[in-house]
Structure 1
Amino acid sequence: MSDKKEWPVIVIGAGPCGIAAAAELKKKGIESLIVEKGAVTESIRQYPNRMTFFSTAENIEIADIPFPTSNVKANRNEALQYYRKVAQYFDLNFQLNTAVQKVDRQGDEFIVHTSRGNFTARFVVLATGYFDKPRLLNIPGEDLPTVSHYYKEPYAHSFQKVVIVGGGNSGIEAALELYRHNVDITMIVRGEDLKPTAKYWLVPDIKNRIKEGKIKVFFNAEAKAIRAGEIDIVVASGEKQSIEADFIYILVGYLPEVKLLTACGLKPDPESLLLDFNSATYESEIENLFLCGTVLAGVHTEKIFIENGREHAKAIAAAVSQKMETVLND
């Protein structure tokens, strides 16, 4: 933890993009403090234990540090180790388990209000991602203890009935792993097919399991209510059905933290949650407050990944460096 309260730059968020921003700044001789409400790479820590990234390891490298892996694509554990080692290599500064409450502008500086006191900086980089705020169905029973918006591992569910709401990568990966651990799986998918963005190596596997009847699926269906031991759905014909379920995973995506964005003085679009920013420097509508990574994507979180978020970090570091030089020359 940091005893120092004044920094040239404060980076909010210790995910890969936040670490990339701090590392790129360090390469230019600029110190920063990364403030994170959880642990380092908290979002990756919450991924399924045996998840494999869609992108190759080379494409999720940051700060020009090679990412050695035994396979072309890295898994969760390798990523956790890699980003930690990058942070160690650049000797980055962290204030962990510290929630940012709001960011105020006072003259030429920002005051970052946190659960552990205030910090000040001339520049702020917002790299908060989205994974800690799941999309909600807003249906009765969604808050029951037998419902979760995060999947970790299969072992608690062997020889039980599990329903998965969602037809994207998270739902497909969970369904396949659960099926292979003696779980009776039913998927509820809103569309007429699985999401087209599904990892290409998973699609034949899941479709074959569905074709064999080993994984049951309702397409064009919506979840309507959850009770202990069952979930109500409506299918395309309008017919209502109740499905037995010992546990339910709602895996329909995640959203940026709008409350924090507005507490920083930003004005996300009410529907898309998109923010105004300079596409060359990633500076927001607020001077000297920069946006890095998936926070730029609004509701379309599938459009920005580590591999393009890391480029934001380079542009931001260059812009901050140039601004600092201009101030010194003046």
Structure 2
Amino acid sequence: MKLLDLIIVGGGPIGIACGLEAQKNGLSYIILEKGPIVNSLYNYPSNMQFFSSSEKLEIDNIPFISKEAKPKRDEALEYYRRIVTNNKLNINLFEKVTSLKKDKGVFETTTNKASYHSVNVVLATGFYDIPNLLNIPGEDLPKVSHYYKDPHFYAGQKVAVIGASNSAIDSALECWRKGADVSLVIRGPEVGQRVKYWVRPDIINRIKEGSIKAFYKSTVTEITEDEIYLNTKEGSVVLPNDFVLALTGYMPNFEFLEDLGIELSSDAKRLPNYDPETMESNVNGLYLAGVICGGMETHKWFIENSRAHSGMIVQHIINKH
């Protein structure tokens, strides 16, 4: 049995940063990524522009040069892919972790392709896999999606976008600009305050001029083949509808964390138990990195403020030796 120093679950920017740090310090490691390199970024909307400027997305002080101050998805894919290939990182792609258990101080990580044994494990799995469901009739219809990729698909269609954050607002504007008839359903009283500052005035002006119809303090109660039903502050509303983009956010896989023995806070935040100085969880040798550290507060951690996790983790592993 080959015993590795470290298994890194997740090949996003933070998982890659952990791999770079392990490699620089002579640790044996493998990064396991269930899809392509930076799978979560690959699944972002095609035209997505980051809130952060390029230098704040850099890892390991490797310069990230972009056309604009705030890079777009394709530039980020290029940047992180080149880091992986140029540094010859040990990353196994399209290899999904199916189980993780610890026995006598050794972690066994099983995937759809193999099993690995290591002294330490880093979970850098992000939060993009499990959408926050509406739990309403019709949510499972083929016309309903919790992910948005490209606006061309929705041209000439009646599209309801549910949500008030960046993903919902970006998709509403893009679909409208490609010729969709867009309705925006927002649970709160306004467009989210964390929407990108150069986008928020755009959506507010489109709503004011009537190009995009917004329903504030409203929820969707049912989705059918041809309509959606809303509960609004003015009462019930029925809209003709072809597609629904339910972009209401995502969450980490809490069941997976609990199965590993990681303690979660009992409140709605569901914060995992870890040492902020070392990123080690309450399970010895099991570390958390990136957005997964924030529980349901998925806006708390992102690339620019969690890229430091890699150094903290690897230094703690070295010190333990």
1:167-194 CA deviation, whole Å, 9 max, x = no partner? 1100110011111111110000000001
Aligned length: 320
1:97-136 CA deviation, whole Å, 9 max, x = no partner? 2221222112221111222232100110000000111111
CA distance in 2, matches of 1:211, 1:275: 42
The equivalent of 1:318 in structure 2 is 315
After TM superposition, the structure 1 = structure 2 runs for residues 64-213 of structure 1, keeping only pairs within 5 Å, are 64-213=61-210
Give the TM-score of the pair, scaled to structure 2.
Answer: 0.97
The equivalent of 2:243 in structure 1 is 247
Residue identity matched to 2:57 = I
Residue identity matched to 1:304 = W
Give the CA deviation at 1:5: 5.4
Give the CA deviation at 1:317: 1.5
CA distance in 2, matches of 1:194, 1:255: 21
CA distance in 2, matches of 1:229, 1:12: 41
Give the TM-score of the pair, scaled to structure 1.
Answer: 0.94
The equivalent of 1:295 in structure 2 is 292
CA distance in 2, matches of 1:91, 1:284: 29
Moved more, 176-185 or 109-118: 109-118
Give the CA deviation at 1:27: 1.6
Residue identity matched to 2:241 = A
1:154-177 CA deviation, whole Å, 9 max, x = no partner? 111111110000011001100111
Q: Is the 8 A contact 1:104 1:111 kept in 2?
A: yes
After TM superposition, the structure 1 = structure 2 runs for residues 218-257 of structure 1, keeping only pairs within 5 Å, are 218-237=215-234, 239-257=235-253
The equivalent of 1:33 in structure 2 is 30
Q: Which runs of 5+ in 2 are unaligned?
A: none
Q: Which runs of 5+ in 1 are unaligned?
A: 325-330
Runs (4+) of structure 1 exceeding 3 A deviation are none
Percent identity of paired positions between Structure 1 and Structure 2:
39
Task: Give the CA RMSD over aligned residues.
Answer: 1.3
* Candidates 36, 50, 59, aligned match of 1:62: 59
CA distance in 1, matches of 2:304, 2:123: 17
SS in 1 for 2:61: coil
Give the CA deviation at 1:229: 1.4
1:250-299 CA deviation, whole Å, 9 max, x = no partner? 00111001222123222323532211111100000011111000110100
Residue 261 in structure 1 maps to residue 232 in structure 2: no
SS in 2 for 1:174: helix
Residue 23 in structure 1 maps to residue 20 in structure 2: yes
SS in 2 for 1:18: helix
SS in 1 for 2:283: coil
Give the CA deviation at 1:37: 1.6
CA distance in 2, matches of 1:260, 1:27: 30
CA distance in 1, matches of 2:76, 2:2: 30
Residue 283 in structure 1 maps to residue 262 in structure 2: no
CA distance in 2, matches of 1:6, 1:103: 15
Give the CA deviation at 1:219: 0.2
Residue 11 in structure 1 maps to residue 8 in structure 2: yes
Moved more, 48-57 or 99-108: 99-108
The equivalent of 1:47 in structure 2 is 44
SS in 2 for 1:301: coil
CA distance in 1, matches of 2:2, 2:191: 49
The equivalent of 2:214 in structure 1 is 217
CA distance in 2, matches of 1:136, 1:36: 25
CA distance in 2, matches of 1:132, 1:104: 21
* Candidates 271, 286, 289, aligned match of 1:274: 271
